[in-house]
Amino acid sequence: MTPQETTRPTCKITVIRRTLNPELAEEYCEGEVTPCPCFTEGQEFVCSLGKPEGFCDWAWRDIHPMVAVLLAGGNFSHGIFTGWMKNERTMIGCCSDGIRPVVFRIELIEPFR
Protein backbone atom coordinates (compact mmCIF):
# COMPACT_ATOMS: atom_id res chain seq x y z
CA MET A 1 0.00 0.00 0.00
CA THR A 2 1.13 3.51 -0.74
CA PRO A 3 1.04 6.17 2.00
CA GLN A 4 -2.06 7.70 0.36
CA GLU A 5 -3.87 4.36 0.44
CA THR A 6 -3.14 3.86 4.12
CA THR A 7 -4.80 7.13 5.14
CA ARG A 8 -7.88 6.84 2.94
CA PRO A 9 -11.10 5.66 4.61
CA THR A 10 -12.68 2.48 3.31
CA CYS A 11 -15.95 0.68 3.76
CA LYS A 12 -16.61 -2.93 4.64
CA ILE A 13 -19.69 -4.40 2.99
CA THR A 14 -21.10 -7.54 4.60
CA VAL A 15 -23.87 -9.67 3.09
CA ILE A 16 -26.30 -10.05 5.98
CA ARG A 17 -29.27 -11.64 4.22
CA ARG A 18 -30.24 -13.16 0.88
CA THR A 19 -33.99 -13.11 0.55
CA LEU A 20 -36.58 -14.51 -1.82
CA ASN A 21 -40.17 -13.46 -2.47
CA PRO A 22 -41.53 -16.82 -3.65
CA GLU A 23 -45.05 -15.56 -4.37
CA LEU A 24 -43.66 -12.92 -6.74
CA ALA A 25 -41.27 -15.43 -8.30
CA GLU A 26 -44.13 -17.84 -8.92
CA GLU A 27 -46.28 -15.14 -10.48
CA TYR A 28 -43.66 -13.41 -12.63
CA CYS A 29 -40.67 -15.68 -13.25
CA GLU A 30 -40.10 -18.67 -15.46
CA GLY A 31 -38.70 -21.80 -13.87
CA GLU A 32 -37.38 -22.27 -10.37
CA VAL A 33 -35.97 -19.17 -8.67
CA THR A 34 -33.59 -19.31 -5.73
CA PRO A 35 -32.00 -16.59 -3.58
CA CYS A 36 -29.34 -14.59 -5.42
CA PRO A 37 -26.43 -16.82 -6.46
CA CYS A 38 -23.97 -13.89 -6.58
CA PHE A 39 -23.47 -13.70 -2.81
CA THR A 40 -23.35 -15.82 0.34
CA GLU A 41 -24.43 -14.64 3.77
CA GLY A 42 -21.45 -13.44 5.78
CA GLN A 43 -19.41 -12.64 2.67
CA GLU A 44 -17.34 -9.45 3.10
CA PHE A 45 -15.90 -6.91 0.70
CA VAL A 46 -13.65 -3.91 1.44
CA CYS A 47 -13.72 -0.95 -0.91
CA SER A 48 -13.34 2.75 -1.42
CA LEU A 49 -15.30 4.41 -4.24
CA GLY A 50 -14.59 1.63 -6.73
CA LYS A 51 -16.67 -1.53 -7.02
CA PRO A 52 -15.05 -4.41 -5.15
CA GLU A 53 -13.81 -7.29 -7.27
CA GLY A 54 -16.48 -9.96 -7.67
CA PHE A 55 -19.32 -7.67 -6.55
CA CYS A 56 -22.55 -7.75 -8.57
CA ASP A 57 -22.76 -4.70 -10.88
CA TRP A 58 -26.47 -4.24 -10.22
CA ALA A 59 -26.13 -4.39 -6.43
CA TRP A 60 -23.17 -2.01 -6.56
CA ARG A 61 -25.25 0.53 -8.49
CA ASP A 62 -27.85 0.36 -5.75
CA ILE A 63 -25.58 0.70 -2.70
CA HIS A 64 -22.78 2.87 -4.12
CA PRO A 65 -24.49 6.14 -3.03
CA MET A 66 -24.48 4.92 0.59
CA VAL A 67 -20.81 3.96 0.36
CA ALA A 68 -20.01 7.39 -1.10
CA VAL A 69 -21.86 9.21 1.70
CA LEU A 70 -19.95 7.32 4.41
CA LEU A 71 -16.58 7.80 2.66
CA ALA A 72 -17.25 11.54 2.34
CA GLY A 73 -17.84 11.87 6.08
CA GLY A 74 -21.63 11.79 5.97
CA ASN A 75 -23.85 9.55 8.04
CA PHE A 76 -27.33 8.12 8.35
CA SER A 77 -27.90 9.09 12.01
CA HIS A 78 -28.17 12.90 12.04
CA GLY A 79 -30.15 15.62 10.32
CA ILE A 80 -32.96 14.18 8.25
CA PHE A 81 -31.83 10.70 9.37
CA THR A 82 -32.13 11.39 13.12
CA GLY A 83 -33.46 8.29 14.82
CA TRP A 84 -32.65 6.01 11.88
CA MET A 85 -29.32 4.18 12.31
CA LYS A 86 -27.89 3.52 15.80
CA ASN A 87 -24.30 3.77 14.56
CA GLU A 88 -23.48 6.81 12.42
CA ARG A 89 -20.73 4.83 10.67
CA THR A 90 -23.11 2.11 9.44
CA MET A 91 -25.94 1.84 6.93
CA ILE A 92 -28.12 -1.09 5.90
CA GLY A 93 -28.87 -1.19 2.19
CA CYS A 94 -30.05 -3.68 -0.39
CA CYS A 95 -30.12 -4.33 -4.10
CA SER A 96 -33.30 -3.50 -5.97
CA ASP A 97 -34.10 -7.01 -7.19
CA GLY A 98 -37.73 -7.30 -6.13
CA ILE A 99 -37.76 -11.08 -6.46
CA ARG A 100 -34.54 -11.93 -4.59
CA PRO A 101 -33.04 -8.87 -2.89
CA VAL A 102 -29.76 -9.08 -0.99
CA VAL A 103 -29.31 -7.00 2.19
CA PHE A 104 -25.92 -5.48 3.03
CA ARG A 105 -24.35 -3.85 6.10
CA ILE A 106 -22.08 -1.00 4.96
CA GLU A 107 -19.57 0.16 7.58
CA LEU A 108 -16.99 2.94 7.48
CA ILE A 109 -13.55 1.61 8.44
CA GLU A 110 -10.88 3.86 9.92
CA PRO A 111 -7.87 4.26 7.68
CA PHE A 112 -4.67 2.50 8.70
CA ARG A 113 -2.06 4.83 10.16
Give pLDDT tens digits for 8-24. Answer: 789 999 999 999 999 99
* pLDDT(1) > 50: no
Taking the C-alpha atoms of residue 84 and residue 77, their distance in angstroms, rounded to an integer, is: 6
Q: Per residue in 77-104, pLDDT tens?
A: 888 888 888 888 999 999 999 999 999 9
